[in-house]
Amino acid sequence: MFVSKFAALFVLGILSFSSLAGVSLSSQEGTSADTKEPRIALGNALPRLGKTCDCFFTLEEAWRNGESTNAMEAADVPERILGQSPQQAMDVITVMVPNFTYAVDRVDSRIIHIKDKRLAAIERYGLDQTIGPFEFQGEVYALIEAIARLGVPIAPRRQFGIGEPVDNHSQIRVKGGSMQVRAALSNFIPLEQKAKSRILWIARTGLDNRPVTTQVYFVW
């Protein structure tokens, strides 16, 4: 009897190990066996994580016809990420949220750019384009319009839900040589003014729209 039980456990152990082979540690961390683990929407988690870790985020969403326009922002993530470092949290979310990618800003490491990976397949995606020399001073809403006048396929978002924390009137001064549009939108914001939201701006792109234009708005 003892031998048969031992053999059964041995076989079960082999099967369990085989099923885990090839699964990265980050995948195991990101997939919780406890379905009752407390969750929080990503859009609510980012300001809290940013405040704890003194970091800021930008969010580039994408959708196809029939999909939600804010799927990443609304995705549920485990609350435990709020106690982790930004990189640990981003790595967990990368495993759990479809199409989620991130990159730390090249100029200011406090800024983390979150991006739907499908945007990489768009030819001339607006935020990846390079502009410059470029100089602007005025409201953030007008900054988006000024970049659009250069032929970049972006536009200020004009319709919002009730209570959305939109910032159209903060002043910004942008001046530099060659730079990505993403950098023009991010690297000249006085971060001390964003201590509450911790999300600098949100961009939304309809992948099935023709022409493909990205709508951008700054967050209050």
Residues with pLDDT less than 70, the chain: 1-35, 161-163
According to the model, what pLDDT value does residue 35 have?
61
Q: What is the pLDDT of residue 192?
A: 87
Full residue range of the structural domain in which residue 51 is found: 31-219
pLDDT of residue 9: 35
The total number of structural domains in the chain stands at 1
> 76: helix, coil or strand?
strand
Q: What is the distance between the alpha carbons of residues 143 and 150, in angstroms, rounded to a whole number?
A: 11
Instruction: Determine the pLDDT at residue 160.
Output: 72
Residue 6 in domain: no
